[in-house]
Homo-oligomer: A and B are copies of this chain.
């Protein structure tokens, strides 16, 4: 029996998710929700550039959820947990499990404990599971390093380095990391909170919780990476005196010891893209994925791949560290 799925949010990532969901033999897409006037009323299949699906995109989430009886909602609307909480509550009220790309949902217990608790209580009461999923946060800098510690008799520190050449990624991402800004504009955006990667603190706290570490302190530093030469991508032009993107480092400490270090370098023209994880433990481990995990397609994939694990998991607000191993299915 195929799992009944509603696609909630049809921006670039939501469209990628819907494309994978529609094509998956284990999934039956029974509803689609988006508020974009250009999408409302259109057939989802047509919107995906494939054959008509019989599923019409509608704006009224409550109506779609009530009428289509989804077992699970694939949700991709916003990075902000405060913004999506009412949407998630509507899914919970409809009795559906949820996998969401909302970055702040990946591990919200530290930054937004009240919202996390409210969602957890509601999900348990409705006997549904809520999961924040994605490549980063949700995998490359948290679930994967957590899983690597499975073979360790002791872990003293976890260090993760993710290098992404943003030139190979979608336009909104290039703009989100400040590519093409002057240093002053970049500083202003950082101050406003509009230039940053959402999720590093969530990854930090997911790792700490899994390993049973009570962090005494943490910090999060965001710096511009300046272009060394002019770079022209499909989406932006960056001259040699402009910002190419970000370098963000999040650290967690127990006593005065740095036990978790998460470094993300995401800029256009970044050389040697990679995901590298070092476990300072017994035994020590050093894992590298040369080229790195390509985020856009991978984020859509992990959301769809999380479906079986979420369907089997206990109820409540869970993280990737709580559910059965997620894998391609």
A147 touching B147 by the CB < 8 A rule?
yes
Residues of B within 8 A of A323 (CB): 324-325
CA distance A211 to B328 in the complex (A): 6
A147 touching B327 by the CB < 8 A rule?
yes
Q: Closest B-chain residue to A140, C-beta based?
A: B151
A327 touching B210 by the CB < 8 A rule?
yes
Decide yes or no whether A66 CB sits under 8 A from chain B: no
Decide yes or no whether A282 CB sits under 8 A from chain B: yes
Known: A149-B305, A288-B288. 7 other contacts (CB 8 A): A20-B153, A150-B328, A152-B305, A210-B329, A211-B329, A312-B314, A320-B325
Q: Knowing A147-B147, A301-B151 touch, does A212 contact B286 (C-beta < 8 A)?
A: no
Tally chain A residues at the interface, Cβ within 8 Å: 51
Footprint of B on A, CB under 8 Å?
20, 135, 139, 143-144, 146-147, 149-155, 210-212, 281-283, 285-291, 293-294, 297-302, 304-306, 312-314, 320-329
* CB-contact partner of A153 in B139, B149, B301, B324, under 8 A: B301
Q: Knowing A20-B153, A146-B327, A211-B329 touch, does A283 contact B298 (C-beta < 8 A)?
A: yes
